[in-house]
Amino acid sequence: MTRRQKFRQYMACMSAAADPKLAIEREFYVPPPDAISDRIVKRLEIEPSSRHLIVGSIGAGKTTQLLIAQKHLEGLEDVHALYVDVSERHDLTQLRPGCLVALAGIALDNMLGRQSINAPDWPSFKSWASGYWTFPYDDYHDEYDDGSKFVQGIIKPPTSWPDIPQNIVSIFSQTTRLMMNQGPNLILLFDSLDRVTNRDAFSKIVEQDVAALHGAGIGLVLIGPIRSLEGFGRLDADRFDYLHVQAPIDVGQDEKGREFLLQVLHRRAGPGILSDTAAEQLVQLSGGVLRDLIALAKSAGDEAYSRGADTIDRDHVMMAADGFGRALMVGLKPEEIDTLKHLHSTGGFVRTSDDDLALIATRRVLEYRGRQPQYAVHPTISHLLDQLAERP
Amino acid sequence: MRIQPIPAELTYFAFRVLERPEPNEWFALVAPAPGVEQVASALAEELRSIGGIEPVLFNIKTAVGIVESVRKQGNGVLVLSGFDAFGMEDWRRLDADRSLLQRNDASVLVLGEEALGQLFRHAPNLSSWLGGQAWLLTEEDHSLTPEERETRLASLRDWSGMTDAEVIAKAERGELPPEPPYAEWLVLLKRGELLD
């Protein structure tokens, strides 16, 4: 294998933005210590209609855990587990009560395929969920030559629909209960709701859709916004039976977590290209964020290759970390830089404002969950903050 | 003092893009705000000339526009510009739609520094895909020291089994294979004009 082939192979395995399904298919998945997916599966095995909320920082591996949980659940003979990436099916900026119930119904309908759901009111549910066509002479607006027009379903609902119609909840509940009496338990796993920025919309979804799905006896796992851990967001979390936090790994304190991250690197890198020192350094500089670990490993590979090296060493990692940190510092407001400097020099950080939360959401500040949350600046920006402190 | 992304000259940046042929790679190139469109065009030309590929260039007007463009172009390198007119809502919209932006090839965002700051602030999910791959466009190549340049040339000679003179002669005859390392070799020898 030529040097270029060796590095290309390495780079192909360090794709931080690739679809997590692809990483699982390629057998890159390494179970983290006390994996959330394991906890969720064990609970759902004995409480199939329990409700689970997963929250955590960006790039911590939430979607991977959801997919692994689905895979394990699908392996159980009395369970159908359906994964739905909400953002692929529905505009998240138009989130309204009823969206999850609608998507759940569509997913069920798709799962059954040709053997359609045998319930008399199901067509009404489908029309509500996916929209329907009307034909000429009722409220005539010519969209096509025959005068037919499409009436949008819940997937793009008009703002005048504030709640899920009760008759729809009833149809859904009766139909799914009928199905589950005859067959396996249904479990739905909803992804991407952590990207919802409208707090009220998310709260309404939790209040109405989660309740409707639970009422129908369906198990539920949902990835939600990290603010569900804070203040009024806590009310949303309280509507679930179990809350699971996928936080970065505190590599300074958590020996098992550190070993896990090293295993992730070794599984992907293969032998003879990444030195042990470089791997240790990558784990340290990632701050315990999985996606950042992989992205840094890739950038370090870039640096080594373009400098003519045969293996990736500490210096290449440091160069990659410098680039990573510089990108992470772009666009910070002066008061945010002051907050970061303060945290870096004193260890003090109090989450009081949206700006503080934004520093966590954008991974400039990492939050480690223990008995008490601990905060640290992302390791790749530490040295840059030192530079700023020297030359204000 | 202001912290900025690592500087990169256009050809060097183009190599970085070409050497990452994996699915869904995202890059940001920061250019002076008034000249972003020209830089995007120049980058597309550079990618064409060095890599022998046909990148698709889009000047995006809205967040919905980028999703539509990306969905239409699942394959091939995309060069996207037009983000400097984006407001907070556009970035948030784009962030919410991140799953729809998964592609099979590289995507490059060419944008001003302020727009990059907005991307990091309002689209944290999308910016996490960059993974630090944000570069500041410069005229001069600051990326390699003379020693590193020589090491890189040595590894290219080792890889191909050719000398510098042989590579130049092949390029002059138009016989150089259309692979990025040969283009990089010519650039390192300051003979980039042979790529035209």
Q: Which span out of A4-8, A172-176, A220-224, B178-182 was modeled with the highest average pLDDT?
A: A220-224
- Tell me the whole-structure pTM to 2 decimals: 0.86
Burial-class residue A223 by CB neighbours within 10 Å (0-12, 13-18, 19+): buried
Whether the CB of B107 is below 8 Å from some CB of chain A: the reply is no
Q: If we measure between CA atoms, which residue out of A178, A158, A157, A179 comes closest to residue A80?
A: A179
- What are the two backbone dihedrals, phi and then psi, of residue A200, each rounded to the nearest 5 degrees? -65, -40
**Mean pLDDT of the A2-16 span:** 89
In this predicted structure, what is the pLDDT of residue B150? Answer: 82
Q: Do A195 and B95 touch (CB under 8 A)?
A: yes
- CB contact (8 A) between residue A22 and residue B23: yes
Q: What is the pLDDT of residue B82?
A: 93
Condensed to tens digits (0 to 9), the pLDDT of residues B123-174 reads 999 999 998 899 999 876 656 777 777 887 887 887 788 898 888 888 888 8
Best of B121, B122, B145, B182 to substitute, by most chain A Cβ atoms within 10 angstroms, is B121
Q: State how far residue A188 is from chain B, nearest Cα, in angstroms.
A: 18
Please tell me the predicted confidence (pLDDT) of residue B1.
67
pLDDT digits (tens, 9 = 90+) for B59-107: 988 888 888 888 888 899 999 999 999 999 999 999 999 989 999 999 9
SS3 content of chain A, % helix, strand, coil (to 5): 55, 10, 35
Contact B144 A306 (CB under 8 A): yes
Which of B131 and A115 is assigned the larger pLDDT? B131
Taking contacts as CB-CB distances below 8 angstroms, the residues of chain B near A292 are: 128, 131
- In this complex, the residue of B97, B100, B128 whose CB is nearest that of residue A291 is B128
ipTM for this prediction? 0.84
Neighbours of A138 (CB within 10 A): 8
Q: A29-84, pLDDT tens digit by residue? A: 999 999 999 999 999 999 999 999 999 989 999 999 999 999 999 999 889 999 99
Contacts of A362 in chain B (CB under 8 A): 120-121, 124, 127
Q: What is the pLDDT of residue B135?
A: 92
Strand pairing category for A374-377 and A365-368: antiparallel
Alpha helix ranges (H) inside chain A: 3-13, 20-25, 36-46, 62-74, 86-89, 99-112, 122-130, 166-182, 199-204, 211-215, 233-238, 255-269, 276-286, 290-306, 314-329, 334-346, 354-361, 379-390
CB contact under 8 A, B22 and A292: no
Helix (H) or strand (E) segment spanning residue B171: helix B164-172
Residue of B nearest to A388 (CA): B1
Closest approach of chain B CAs to the CA of A17, in angstroms?
A: 5
First to last CA, chain A: 49
pLDDT of A159: 46
Q: Compute the nearest-CA separation of A295 from chain B (Å).
A: 5
pLDDT mean over A175-181: 82
